[in-house]
Amino acid sequence: MNTIGSFLLAVLVWPGLIVSALLGWTYLWMGRKLTARLQGRQGPPFFQPFFDFVKLAGKKTIVPVGVNPGLFYGLPLVAVLGVVFALALLPLPGNLTPSFSGDLILVVYLLEMPGICTVLAGYASRSLYGQVSASREAVMLLGYNLPFLAALIALAVQAGSFELAKIAAAPWSPVHILAGLAFLISIPARIRSNPFSIPNAEQEIVAGATTEFNGLPLALFELAHGMELVGMLGLFAALFFPSLISGGLGLVWYVLISLVLVVLVTVLAVSTARLRLNQAFRFYWLWGALTAVAAFAAAVIW
């Protein structure tokens, strides 16, 4: 198969749109089901996230007065496309898309699109709740990206390249332990999970940045959320467990690693209370900075 065909297959099927949507709905269901069980409730059925998407997509979309329709429809679409193209570049089992110099930088940029689109959606909606949530999300972006970017740069420094394939092929070292810790610290905030669910605190700001969104645009934002989780877990598995996911049982190991992380994030969310914005920001610029410095020091030494 030629390069264009491989890329189209990666974008549309695996690890892109179709399979990542199914995985995203599965991970979201697991999180909701485990949360319910830990709280003594029944929880939703397996297909609930898919049913929610279909129900929202089938409803009539109402654009609020004064809101730009192009932004209202375009922002959630850009959020989904950003994650889809990021997933298509990840060196996951069965992905035939060739790696190229600097593809890590492009993947990071594309994975930032859901967060950026969420901020813009909050302000574009002209809703007070949306604007409050957008301002919180913007501040959190500055917080959780410190350990996240530091982890990736430390791995790139150790490998001497910003190419995903070369970083994945680098020998295991203490850099991976410290960078992995920094990466894991950023995941709960990136998916807006407790104790870092400040941007979408429903008790305070209704539905956050998407309060005024409905119908298909809201369905796409929810889809982007699930696929963003798949993208983060896929990037983690590709960079920190490349030997496991490149073997004959690579796909099985990839799913198992992802499921373990979903369980850990869910247990953390259930067992903790939501932090205030200043507390969350301080956490990332203190502990996130410490892990970042440790990862950089290890990368220079090793």
Q: What integer pLDDT is reported at residue 172 of this predicted model? A: 87
Q: What integer pLDDT is reported at residue 204 of this predicted model? A: 62
Token pair 């979309």 is at which residue? Answer: 61
Q: How far apart are CA 122 and CA 273, in angstroms?
A: 24
Token reading at 17: 């749109």
User: Mapping DSSP to helix (H, G, I), strand (E, B) and coil, where does residue 87 land?
Assistant: helix
Token pair 């894991």 is at which residue? Answer: 184
Structural domain of residue 172, as residue ranges?
3-301
As a whole-number percent, the residues of the chain with pLDDT over 70 amount to 98
Spatial contact of 158 and 295, defined as CB atoms under 8 Å apart: no
Other CB atoms within a 10 A radius of the CB of residue 276 amount to 11
Q: What integer pLDDT is reported at residue 41 of this predicted model? A: 93
Q: What integer pLDDT is reported at residue 89 of this predicted model? A: 95
Per-residue pLDDT of 91-137, as tens digits, reads 999 898 999 999 999 999 999 999 999 999 999 998 888 899 999 99
Per-residue pLDDT of 9-62, as tens digits, reads 999 999 999 999 999 999 999 999 999 999 999 999 999 999 999 999 999 999
Averaged pLDDT for residues 213-228: 95
Q: 295 falls in which pLDDT band (50, 70, 90)?
A: confident
The residues near 247 (Cβ < 8 Å, ≥ 6 apart) are 253
Number of H helices, E strands in the chain: 15, 0
- Go through 167-189 and write b for each residue having 16 or more CB atoms within 10 A of its CB, e for each that does not: bbebeeeebbebbbbbbbbbbbb
Q: Could you tell me which residue, 101 or 203, shows the higher pLDDT? A: 101
Averaged pLDDT for residues 216-231: 96
Q: How far apart are CA 125 and CA 66, in angstroms?
A: 8
Q: What integer pLDDT is reported at residue 206 of this predicted model? A: 67
Q: What are phi and psi of 59, to 5 degrees?
A: -85, 155
Q: How far apart are CA 42 and CA 49, in angstroms?
A: 15
Number of domains making up the chain: 1
Q: Judge whether residue 203 has pLDDT over 60.
A: no
Per-residue pLDDT of 53-88, as tens digits, reads 999 999 999 999 889 999 999 999 999 999 999 999
Q: Judge whether residue 231 has pLDDT over 80.
A: yes
User: Which alpha helices (H) appear in 208-288, and where do they start and end?
Assistant: 215-240, 242-245, 250-271, 277-283
Q: What integer pLDDT is reported at residue 205 of this predicted model? A: 61
Per-residue pLDDT of 154-191, as tens digits, reads 999 999 999 999 999 998 888 999 999 999 999 999 99
Q: Judge whether residue 248 has pLDDT over 70.
A: yes
Token reading at 14: 């695996």
Q: Judge whether residue 1 has pLDDT over 70.
A: no
Q: What integer pLDDT is reported at residue 129 of this predicted model? A: 87
The residues near 265 (Cβ < 8 Å, ≥ 6 apart) are 31, 187, 188, 191, 193
